């Protein structure tokens, strides 16, 4: 095997992979346009991609996964740390030796008759002090083409790496896409990820959730930085000043939408603007001035398609107009373009659904997901460079200083539209107690409320009690330079189950209050859970919403929150003696505050 590097750890591992997988061919992916073009053609020939209308959607393709393989599989995702205790109560664990043996026996010989693609990539701008290197081997052209969008693939990363052993090994093998033998495994102490029997995004684009969150969260803990499931945006005010915020919402709870929002017209006219730095993952480190700096380690967006349209998320839609791979959306045979629920009201008359079967719009029933043309977790993989509002800081390695951290989720009744935590420790409590209704982004029931601390439940690569402690320690180091911590909820419903808050672009109204709070410009009411806006401080200009409705979603209800506190107590029991004492104290404070209400 001719190598592209003299790094002994890389060459040793690649030789082991070759011996294990026994491919017919080996191809290094270099990130060049010529190679990408050839691979696209290859994928079309193999039937892995369908070429779309190249006039309307240049460089765009459609892919359909196996119907048994459409989302992340949390019950088959493992953290194989040396001891079970270090994986903690929220992760599946298996002894690493046992798991290596099992996975190697599944993967053995699986590349026979196939090509082993070697993808050297950087998470973060190549050479940035916050960036890290990974190498993924895969037998899927679809994975290669997606990694070319989602990460920075280049042989240059090997130069940056030199002889260092600080790189993440990633083995992906599609095998037979057998759900019974599907495993997504992480070995944090070995910087290694192994994924077998899947071809779906979050399970196989190993730079994303596997590396940039599960492995990186562990590295951040050991090295004193943070890897979080957060979007990063810059809010520009009429004076031209830009303030950055990072926000953690669970999967399919609105990160991509918030990251790219277009402010309401009256704010646009005043000169407000949003710049996107990232839509899913944030790596954050304390900078030389003592503030928290964030980079987006990714190079593209793996966004949820359903619901994306020119009104809800114009910038995301624009991002998908060239060089994009659509996965599990519908194919409009009329003009060979794509369609999904919520794209527009023109249900295609002549279309194939996400499984490739003829779709009958007459049978479509919004309430019955099985009649959908696109899978509820269908996605697009779009280059970040396509995004009309991509921040000029996106490609810079230094990162952006974070003024506010925002937690949030889908809560029909409990959390108010927005509130501010009392301080960093209280903010860590708010994040640790977060809950949200489950979505189609992971296999399993949808709409069930579950605790999802910091939106990291499926992504934390170590014991979550230690993770909370790490957050507390970061706060101590940051001191008075720490970002302020907030919580938002766009998903409060009325008695008929309709969302009360208009959401999307109108979330800007809430962001403005958040920034004003950071700058000491807005007032607030102190409540049992934190600082809630005075209703008149949320600007409702041009909105069809009265004060009473707004008050209804700012309300902190004593009974609802008393029950919430009990549930948090239950949730906390899982962490045993690794739950930081500060957080137990926070819970006791909350209970005492509620009792006084």
Catalytic center residues: 253
For position 205 contacting ligand GTP by CB under 6 A, the verdict is no
Residue with the shortest CB distance to ligand SPV: 202
For position 407 contacting ligand GTP by CB under 6 A, the verdict is no
The secondary structure of residue 211, as a DSSP letter, is I
| Member of 48, 69, 280, 393 binding Mn ion (CB under 5 A) | 280
Taking contact as CB under 5 A, which single stretch among the options 53-61, 136-144, 245-253, 382-390 is the one that binds Mn ion? 245-253
User: Contact, 153 vs 123, CB < 8 A?
Assistant: no
Smallest distance from ligand GTP to CB 139, Å: 26
User: Contact, 470 vs 390, CB < 8 A?
Assistant: no
- Provide the β-strand partners of residue 531: 420, 526
Q: Token pair for residue 87?
A: 């994986």
| Member of 36, 132, 209, 517 binding ligand SPV (CB under 6 A) | 209
Cβ–Cβ contacts within 10 Å for residue 524, how many? 17
Distance, first Cα to last Cα, the chain: 71
Taking residues 301 to 340 in sequence order and writing x for each that binds ligand SPV by CB under 6 A, - otherwise, the string is: -x--------------------------------------
Residue with the shortest CB distance to ligand GTP: 503
For position 48 contacting Mn ion by CB under 5 A, the verdict is no
For position 280 contacting ligand GTP by CB under 6 A, the verdict is yes
Nearer Cβ to ligand GTP, position 90 or 257? 257
Taking contact as CB under 6 A, which single stretch among the options 36-44, 298-306, 383-391, 574-582 is the one that binds ligand GTP? 298-306
| Member of 3, 86, 237, 312 binding ligand GTP (CB under 6 A) | 312
Taking residues 53 to 72 in sequence order and writing x for each that binds ligand SPV by CB under 6 A, - otherwise, the string is: -------------------x
Q: What is the CA radius of gyration of the chain?
A: 23
| Member of 243, 255, 375, 451 binding ligand GTP (CB under 6 A) | 255
- Residue 495 neighbours by CB under 8 Å, 6+ apart: none
Instruction: Give the rounded distance of the alpha carbon of 107 from its chain centre.
Output: 28
Taking contact as CB under 6 A, which single stretch among the options 107-115, 247-255, 332-340, 384-392 is the one that binds ligand GTP? 247-255
Q: Token pair for residue 587?
A: 């819970």
| Partner whose binding site includes residue 110, from ligand GTP, ligand SPV, Mn ion, none (CB under 5 to 8 Å by kind) | none
Cα 399 from Cα 292, distance rounded (Å): 9
CA distances from 37 to 141, 145, 147 (A): 12, 10, 14
| Partner whose binding site includes residue 375, from ligand SPV, ligand GTP, Mn ion, none (CB under 5 to 8 Å by kind) | none
SS3 for 39-93 is HHHHHHHHCCCEECCCCCCCCCEEECCCCCCCCECHHHEEECCCCHHHHCCCCEC
Taking contact as CB under 6 A, which single stretch among the options 6-14, 36-44, 245-253, 572-580 is the one that binds ligand GTP? 245-253
User: Contact, 186 vs 61, CB < 8 A?
Assistant: no
- Residue 273 neighbours by CB under 8 Å, 6+ apart: 235, 236, 263, 389
Q: What angle do CA 135, 141, 142 make, to 5 degrees?
A: 95
For position 399 contacting ligand SPV by CB under 6 A, the verdict is no
The dihedrals phi and psi of 590, each to the nearest 5 degrees, come to -60, -45
| Partner whose binding site includes residue 307, from ligand SPV, Mn ion, ligand GTP, none (CB under 5 to 8 Å by kind) | ligand GTP
Nearer Cβ to Mn ion, position 280 or 298? 280
Query: Under DSSP, is residue 573 helix (H, G, I), strand (E, B) or coil?
Result: helix
Nearer Cβ to ligand SPV, position 111 or 302? 302
For position 254 contacting ligand SPV by CB under 6 A, the verdict is no
Q: Report the interface residues with ligand GTP, using CB under 6 A.
A: 249, 251-257, 279-280, 303-304, 306-307, 312, 441, 490, 499, 503-504, 507
Q: Report the interface residues with ligand SPV, using CB under 6 A.
A: 72, 201-202, 208-209, 251, 280, 302, 441
């Amino acid at each position: 095997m001719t190598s592209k590097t003299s790094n002994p750890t890389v060459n040793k591992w690649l030789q082991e992979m070759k011996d294990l997988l026994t491919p017919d061919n080996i191809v290094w992916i270099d990130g060049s346009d010529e190679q990408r073009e050839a691979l696209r053609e290859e994928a079309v020939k193999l039937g892995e991609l369908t070429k779309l209308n190249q006039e309307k959607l240049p460089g765009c393709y459609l892919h359909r996964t196996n119907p048994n393989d459409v989302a992340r599989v949390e019950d088959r995702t493992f953290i194989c740390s040396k001891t079970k205790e270090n994986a903690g109560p929220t992760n599946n664990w298996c002894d690493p030796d046992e798991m290596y043996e099992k996975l190697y026996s599944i993967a053995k010989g699986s590349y026979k008759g196939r090509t082993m693609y070697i993808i050297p990539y950087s998470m973060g701008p190549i050479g940035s002090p916050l960036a890290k290197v990974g190498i993924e081997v895969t037998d899927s052209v679809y994975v290669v083409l997606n990694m070319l969008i989602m990460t920075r693939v280049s042989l240059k990363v090997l130069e940056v790496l030199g002889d260092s052993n600080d790189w993440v090994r990633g083995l992906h093998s599609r095998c037979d896409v057998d759900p019974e033998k599907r495993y997504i495994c992480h070995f944090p102490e070995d910087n290694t990820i192994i994924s077998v029997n899947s071809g779906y995004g979050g399970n196989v684009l190993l730079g994303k959730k596997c590396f940039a969150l599960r492995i990186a969260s562990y590295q951040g803990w050991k090295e004193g930085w943070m890897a979080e499931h957060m979007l990063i945006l810059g809010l520009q005010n009429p004076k031209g000043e830009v303030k950055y915020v990072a926000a953690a919402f669970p999967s399919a709870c609105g990160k991509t939408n918030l990251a790219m929002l277009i402010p309401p017209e009256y704010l646009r006219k005043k000169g407000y603007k949003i710049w996107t730095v990232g839509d899913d993952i944030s790596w954050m480190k304390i900078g030389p001035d003592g503030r928290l700096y964030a980079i987006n380690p990714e190079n593209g967006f793996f966004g949820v398609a359903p619901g994306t349209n020119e009104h809800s998320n114009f910038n995301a839609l624009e991002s998908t107009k060239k060089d994009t791979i659509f996965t599990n959306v519908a194919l409009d045979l009329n003009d060979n373009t794509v369609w999904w629920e919520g794209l527009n009201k023109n249900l295609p008359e002549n279309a194939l659904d996400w499984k490739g079967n003829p779709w009958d719009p007459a049978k479509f029933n919004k309430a019955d997901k099985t009649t959908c043309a696109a899978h509820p977790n269908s996605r697009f993989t779009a280059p970040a460079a396509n995004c009309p509002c991509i921040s000029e800081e996106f490609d810079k390695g230094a990162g952006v200083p974070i003024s506010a951290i925002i937690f949030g989720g889908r809560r029909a009744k409990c959390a108010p539209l927005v509130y501010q935590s009392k301080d960093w420790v209280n903010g860590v409590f708010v994040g640790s107690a977060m809950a949200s209704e489950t979505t189609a982004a992971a296999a399993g029931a949808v709409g069930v409320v579950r605790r999802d601390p910091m939106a990291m439940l499926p992504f934390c690569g170590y014991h979550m009690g230690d993770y909370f402690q790490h957050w507390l320690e970061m706060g101590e180091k940051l001191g008075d330079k720490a970002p302020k911590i907030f919580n938002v909820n766009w998903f409060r419903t009325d008695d008929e189950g309709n969302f009360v808050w208009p959401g999307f672009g109108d979330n800007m109204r809430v962001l403005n209050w958040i920034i004003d709070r950071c700058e000491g410009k807005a007032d607030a009411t102190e409540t049992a859970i934190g600082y809630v806006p005075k209703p008149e401080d949320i600007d409702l200009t041009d909105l069809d919403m009265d004060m009473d409705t707004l008050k209804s979603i700012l309300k902190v209800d004593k009974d609802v929150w008393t029950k919430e506190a009990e549930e948090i107590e239950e949730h906390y029991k899982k962490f045993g003696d690794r739950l930081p004492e500060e957080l137990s104290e926070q819970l006791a404070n909350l209970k005492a505050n509620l009792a006084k209400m």
